[in-house]
Structure 1
């Protein structure tokens, strides 16, 4: 059996073997990942515990550094506290300002209550007395003790710094407080005073012995050079405490006062704080250096592991990509030679096998290409014959349309001429009606004017009648005057004869006037009746003329309506003639008939309402395309879409409108808004398809 076949058989057998049960959970996870992803998971699984351990170590060391920093904060507060305690024990003025500033600067130590107690003791009325100073000393000792607790100095883990802390935080404040109590004058019985002094002396002596012991133990337990010499103030304080104890027992006031001033000296009291702070600072430096060194080595190891793992992952990923690329190229129809890894592992064997299959397919493709070339030549020949037949059919159809259009246009033009005659006749009728209407309106105006004059005449005759009545009344009164004058003339006798003649003449004149007035009244009445008859005749004439005017108005409306109907007919004829003329360009308005259509063998993608659908292209031209839609996809008229297909080894993306669709899924597209590059690509494809095949 050939080596390749044997390797393939062995690989198949290995692949067919069942996985060990212990590996099945891990295989269930890694089988979902690519090779590079699986390697990345493996690297992460190996590196994460180291990272977690390094983080835990850094957190632990950080806690220790924070512990040391808090202890150093306590040392900073201890200095002004012990200084104030020493001043109080010596009997000097106590300055709390430095202590207050440090307590405010370190609120994490929670010393506010103790500081208020110290301030209260100093503010007491007897603060300057020995008893008051002893109370102030007790308050300061309580503050020092709380400082040791709050700053965790009391829990210091190193022997050297622990014993120095014990001397400064516990023993020295206890000795100073006992010394302050020893300065208080005793009271009570002599035996009680002796016992009290003995207790105080024992306390001071014990504190002094502890100070000396703490200094010696710290010097033995440390690796710091020169610590024993730097703790000399503690030994001095121990010796001074012993002297204070002796003076207290002997009740020697001057000796006690001198020993107390030595014990409460600022240099002695705070002499151990500088070595304590130096030990804490050294511990901080050692912790920080060890942390940095270990974390640096850990980071370097992690970086080295990542570097090596990255190299392995890159090499494996490259070989896997080469194998996958060769297989994918073969599956995708790419038969060009692919880069192959140079190695003897399974990936290289896979690539070599794929390359053998590629060479076999290349030979088969050459044979298929020759057949495809012949098929394409036949297809192009058939397409050219089909286009020639279509062109002849379109030309014949266009000829028939042109002939029919010419006949219809001739008939319509005759109708248009007749419509013109009707329009002219209607215009003449309208002009005649307009003239009659104007004459009728003039007659009506004259009749109305005559009626107005007759009314005026009637009013004048009525006024004349009124004046005639007035004259009749005057004549009647004149008759009465003539009668009275006659009677008076008869009474006068001969003297009144002449007056009787005048009265008689006046009477005759009055009778004549009355007769004339009656004739005038009769004449005026006759004139009024005639004027009324004339007014009625004029009114009747005006009514007749108005009826004629209304008839003319109606006739004018009919003529206008006839003109509008004729205009509508003329527009309809014009539209019909325009449509008939447009039939002459029918061939140019058909979708994509103005450019050549050629078949497209490759499938395409049609994006409808934001979703892509695979379609089979039927043909394409510079103006549009035809394709078959998949089942379930429907397009509305003029719905915007986007077509994507491959032409001449390039991708065409063009927007289009769905101009028509059939029940069998075929849809026609009209390109809309494509650029010059897309148009050039389509033109090149059409030209390439129509060119003769070599």
Structure 2
């Protein structure tokens, strides 16, 4: 019976230990999956922030190249130092994160093309065409940055529309504004637009107006969706300035103007205002985008820590509970064993008392019998008989 009870205790302890190990293993699997998901999310956000690092100088370079194109088309002196300074900033960004984003070869091709255009000193239509080719390489590089950094694939509304405005819509507005002003100049100042030039200018100006509308709508969505309360207040002044410049460049009466002469100087000034208002807005949006991504990265890290501590506490609780169960069973078993031993000892003590009493009685009986049957006894009995 004792052996059976001990075997049952061992089996019960083994079952409790196995359950604790199984539960712990389950928690470990959950923890590993959670940490893997957190790590993957963190890597995505980090890549997006790399993209923001690259896009800041790239946006500046787009603006400087548009300004250089307009100067070259008009036969004015191109500020080569300013263009190269902007290009150097992109070069530093490419050296820092280009290998991660896979932009190295595209950037090298862009540098070669820019060097060729700046050294050619082209003017008029050849300058327009040459700079347009450079702009194609530049926009291709920007798309590569957006794709490889995952910015273009970001599903969150706040960061998506910030990216959309800063990466696509504002550069498009800057390029179209410069293109429209250059085409009007090439068609003849004070002349009436007609044919292909009229269509191209109309498309470019419409592109600016459309970009302004899309930017405004998208940023309103970002402000409504974000957890960053400062976003709306931070971007509103620059957004208002850009909207005003876009409306001046492409007013609602734009279509009626094609029945009149288009003043190239006025349009060029308006295009420059689009540039000087769009560029600060783009940088501000990129800064806000980085802040949103930094907040997301911190949230992922916090979730990872919370999950880790939750699993650790759960595992510790399981082992403490298992230990308490085992310890409680062990104490019960020890108490039962002690009680059984005490009962056995009491029983043995009672039996031993009875045995010792019987032996003592027997010894006294034997002693009495010896007394009665010994020589003295016999003498006493003889004397009695004799009498």
Give TM-score scaled by structure 2 length: 0.71
Equivalent residues of 1:137, 1:180 under 8 A apart? no
Post-superposition shift, 1:229? 2.3
Aligned: 1:139 with 2:137 = yes
Residues 240 and 138 of structure 1, relative CA distance in 2, 3 Å threshold: farther
Post-superposition shift, 1:193? 1.3
1:20-42 alpha-carbon deviations (Å, 9 max, x no partner): xxxxxxxxxx99x7554432211
Aligned: 1:199 with 2:203 = yes
Post-superposition shift, 1:361? 8.8
Aligned: 1:116 with 2:108 = yes
Residue in 1 aligned with 2:175?
Answer: 177
Aligned: 1:261 with 2:272 = yes
Instruction: Write the distance in 1 (CA, Å) between the matches of 2:344 and 2:19.
Output: 34
Matches within 5 A, 1:553-632: none
Matches within 5 A, 1:329-368: 341-342=334-335, 348=336, 352-353=339-340
Post-superposition shift, 1:358? 7.4
Equivalent residues of 1:127, 1:136 under 8 A apart? no
Equivalent residues of 1:207, 1:238 under 8 A apart? no
Residues 150 and 178 of structure 1, relative CA distance in 2, 3 Å threshold: same
Instruction: Write the distance in 2 (CA, Å) between the matches of 1:257 and 1:181.
Output: 10
Residues 172 and 117 of structure 1, relative CA distance in 2, 3 Å threshold: farther
Post-superposition shift, 1:238? 3.8
RMSD (Å) for aligned C-alpha atoms: 3.5
Instruction: Write the distance in 1 (CA, Å) between the matches of 2:328 and 2:23.
Output: 19
Instruction: Write the distance in 1 (CA, Å) between the matches of 2:141 and 2:121.
Output: 18
Aligned: 1:309 with 2:301 = no
Post-superposition shift, 1:235? 4.1
Higher share in strand: 1
Instruction: Write the distance in 1 (CA, Å) between the matches of 2:162 and 2:342.
Output: 81
Residue in 2 aligned with 1:243?
Answer: 248
Residue in 1 aligned with 2:151?
Answer: 153
Question: What is the total number of aligned residue pairs between the two structures?
Answer: 316
- Stretches of structure 2 that go unaligned for 5 or more consecutive residues are 69-78, 356-387
Residues 215 and 239 of structure 1, relative CA distance in 2, 3 Å threshold: farther
**Which residue among 73, 77, 89 is the counterpart of 2:54?**
77
Equivalent residues of 2:178, 2:268 under 8 A apart? no
Residues 111 and 174 of structure 1, relative CA distance in 2, 3 Å threshold: same
- Stretches of structure 1 that go unaligned for 5 or more consecutive residues are 1-7, 15-29, 321-340, 343-347, 368-694
Post-superposition shift, 1:46? 2.0
Residues 165 and 127 of structure 1, relative CA distance in 2, 3 Å threshold: farther
Aligned: 1:104 with 2:95 = yes
Aligned: 1:252 with 2:263 = yes
Matches within 5 A, 1:401-416: none
Matches within 5 A, 1:432-581: none
Post-superposition shift, 1:228? 1.5
Instruction: Write the distance in 2 (CA, Å) between the matches of 1:260 and 1:187.
Output: 16
Post-superposition shift, 1:71? 0.8
SS at match of 2:250: helix
Instruction: Write the distance in 2 (CA, Å) between the matches of 1:127 and 1:318.
Output: 96
Instruction: Write the distance in 2 (CA, Å) between the matches of 1:199 and 1:47.
Output: 65
Equivalent residues of 2:45, 2:296 under 8 A apart? yes
Higher share in helix: 2
Post-superposition shift, 1:127? 6.8
Aligned: 1:272 with 2:276 = no
Instruction: Write the distance in 1 (CA, Å) between the matches of 2:136 and 2:270.
Output: 20
Post-superposition shift, 1:351? 5.7
Residue in 2 aligned with 1:210?
Answer: 214
Equivalent residues of 1:144, 1:169 under 8 A apart? yes
Equivalent residues of 2:248, 2:270 under 8 A apart? yes
Residues 220 and 256 of structure 1, relative CA distance in 2, 3 Å threshold: same
Instruction: Write the distance in 2 (CA, Å) between the matches of 1:222 and 1:361.
Output: 84
Matches within 5 A, 1:285-300: 285-300=298-313
Largest Rg, 1 or 2:
1
Post-superposition shift, 1:253? 2.0
Give TM-score scaled by structure 1 length: 0.41
Matches within 5 A, 1:672-683: none
Instruction: Write the distance in 2 (CA, Å) between the matches of 1:177 and 1:142.
Output: 14
Equivalent residues of 2:13, 2:326 under 8 A apart? yes
Post-superposition shift, 1:354? 6.0
Post-superposition shift, 1:319? 5.8
SS at match of 1:157: coil
Aligned: 1:49 with 2:36 = no
